[in-house]
């Protein structure tokens, strides 16, 4: 049908509609690729996967940024050992904080005097903050921007899907999830928003015995690859339980970790 370009009275999810909702990029930002990292539920290691993607991209020579859209549960700054308050250029423009290896970060915890202070805001304010992190932060030149989404399919995720120029998403899951239901919710939301699914990461998939090298599927071996095949998702990465990665994240030294296999998912 002929488009009237009045999205308020139209239910079609076309490219024009998406353009209508995109938040303006900051004039001092030049971001080439924006990748969202989502999960159907919390506690599956979504932020850890986001951090590992960023670290590995940086070690491959790319200019990298992380937009922490998990406003009520920010964990990115702590993983990178970053605790200072972000500087402002003026009343409208904020400078991201750089990690030890030059990864640019923006998170609500970089704007709070006390990083343990809870963020008790309603949905519209949370969603508006995500758009501000895109429009009011001078990111500079970025090859890969990774967006750490909150879990689920609520207001903030919807706002990010509509407001940010996402090139695709990575879905994070774990073996103990009800894969056929919870992962499907996240992937179907992406499909409804016409956002490509780059791949699925099954975190805590197995444990490798340090003595014999054999794999042990502590939570049971999942059927994630079968699900991905049925859903038409080509790339699946199974990440092991790695106590060293957990230690590095807790110590603010996640940049010492590395996962080339994980980075392949966005190539």
**Residue set of the binding site for ATP:** 40-47
List the beta strands (DSSP E) in the chain: 29-39, 64-68, 97-98, 104-106, 140-148, 168-173, 197-202, 207-208, 215-216, 236-238
Question: What is the β-pairing status of strands 197-202 and 236-238?
Answer: parallel
DSSP code string of 209-231: -TTT--EE-TT----HHHHHHHH
Which residues are part of a known binding site? 40-47
C-alpha distances (whole Å) from 258 to each of 56, 142, 244, 249, 262 are 6, 20, 11, 12, 9
Q: Helix 179-192 crosses helix 224-231 at what angle (to 10 degrees)?
A: 30
How many CA atoms, within 13 angstroms, populate the side-chain half-sphere of residue 144? 26
Q: Single out the residue of 219, 227, 217 nearest to residue 180, CA to CA.
A: 227
- CB proximity list for 99: less than 8 A, separation 6 or greater: 80, 81, 82, 105, 255
Contact 97, 86 (CB under 8 A): yes
Q: Which H/E stretch holds residue 263?
A: helix 260-263
């Amino acid at each position: 049908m002929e488009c009237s370009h009045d999205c308020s009275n139209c239910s079609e999810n076309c490219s024009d509609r998406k353009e209508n909702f995109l938040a303006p990029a900051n004039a001092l930002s030049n971001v080439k690729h924006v990748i969202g990292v989502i999960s159907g539920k919390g506690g599956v290691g979504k932020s850890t996967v986001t951090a590992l993607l960023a670290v590995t991209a940086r070690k491959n020579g790319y200019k990298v940024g992380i937009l922490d859209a998990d406003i009520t549960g920010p964990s990115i700054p702590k993983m990178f050992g970053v605790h200072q308050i972000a500087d402002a250029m003026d009343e409208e423009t904020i400078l991201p904080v750089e990690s030890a290896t030059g990864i640019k970060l923006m998170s609500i915890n970089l704007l709070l005097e006390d990083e343990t202070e809870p963020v008790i805001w309603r949905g519209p304010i949370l969603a508006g903050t995500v758009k501000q992190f895109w429009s009011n932060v001078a990111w500079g030149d970025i090859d890969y921007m990774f967006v750490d989404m909150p879990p689920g399919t609520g207001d903030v995720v919807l706002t990010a899907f509509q407001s940010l120029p996402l090139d695709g998403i990575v879905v994070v899951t774990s073996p103990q999830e009800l894969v056929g239901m919870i992962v499907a919710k996240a992937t179907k939301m992406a499909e409804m928003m016409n956002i490509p699914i780059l791949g699925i990461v099954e975190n805590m998939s197995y444990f490798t015995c340090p003595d014999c090298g054999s794999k042990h599927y502590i939570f049971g071996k999942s059927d994630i690859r079968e699900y991905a095949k049925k859903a038409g998702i080509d790339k699946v990465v199974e990440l092991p339980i790695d106590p060293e990665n957990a230690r590095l994240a807790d110590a603010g030294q996640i940049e010492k970790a590395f996962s080339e296999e994980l980075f392949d998912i966005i190539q």
